[in-house]
Amino acid sequence: MRESRVWHMVSREKESSLHESMHGMMGVLYLVGTLSIACVVIGASLLPEADSSTGLSSIVAIATRPGAADRGRAIFNGKGVCYYCHGIDGYLDQRPRLEADTAALIARLNPKPADLRKPKSLRLTTDRARAKAIREGHPGTGMFPDTRMTDQELANTLAYLSSLRQEGSLQAPSQ
């Protein structure tokens, strides 16, 4: 009888221990699940901003979308920060005032930023390639991805870049 009681107590202790282990494991699974959901939510928030009218478009659709060069100019010289490396309005010798460490980093880029006003020297020759480089970055260069632009802002920037490639289409900014 005593053995039976001891066995019962050991069984209960094992059962309790197993219950605590299961409870701990459920807590870990809950935490992992919660973290997974958080990662998905955070990851989704880092995706390129979708255009409210059509949702996130493919690079091909963006590259063929009509854009407004004047609006693209504002993106190029502002939100898009393209002018940090490519110069104000695409003039390489006219860069904005930058923090010293940022300017030093840009000065060390190899290859140097492309002169967007010299079409014959450009490696990216289609709007599709340009849109992809802007959205995803340009491997082998210092150009990082810009995922903050909406699809329409990217189309506008492509229209502006087209105007830069047309010699004499824009005047140099006055100092």
Who's near 122: CB < 8 A, 6+ residues apart?
Answer: 114, 116, 165
**The pLDDT of residue 74:** 96
What pTM was estimated for this model as a whole?
0.61
- Residue of 115, 105, 160, 113 whose CA lies nearest to 141: 113
Within-domain flag for 174:
no
Within-domain flag for 91:
yes
Within-domain flag for 68:
yes
**The pLDDT of residue 14:** 52
Q: What is the pLDDT of residues 32-61, one digit of tens each?
A: 443 344 333 334 444 444 443 333 468 888
Within-domain flag for 53:
no
Q: What is the pLDDT of residues 80-120, one digit of tens each?
A: 899 999 999 999 999 999 999 999 999 999 999 999 999 98
Structure-token pair, residue 75: 């993106």
In a shared domain, residues 82 and 148: yes
**The pLDDT of residue 52:** 38
Beta strand spans in the chain (E) = none
In a shared domain, residues 40 and 74: no
- CA separation (Å) from 6 to 2, 12, 19, 20? 6, 10, 19, 21
State residue 55 phi and psi, 5-degree precision: 80, 180
In a shared domain, residues 72 and 109: yes
- The number of folded domains in the chain is 2
Query: Given a cut of 60, is residue 137 above it in pLDDT?
Result: yes
Q: What is the pLDDT of residues 2-18, one digit of tens each?
A: 554 544 454 455 555 54
Residue 31 pLDDT grade (very low, low, confident, very high; cuts 50, 70, 90): very low
In a shared domain, residues 78 and 132: yes
In a shared domain, residues 93 and 41: no
Range of the domain at 118: 59-165
Mean pLDDT of 68-79: 95
Query: Given a cut of 60, is residue 166 above it in pLDDT?
Result: yes
CATH code at position 69 = 1.10.760
In a shared domain, residues 70 and 142: yes
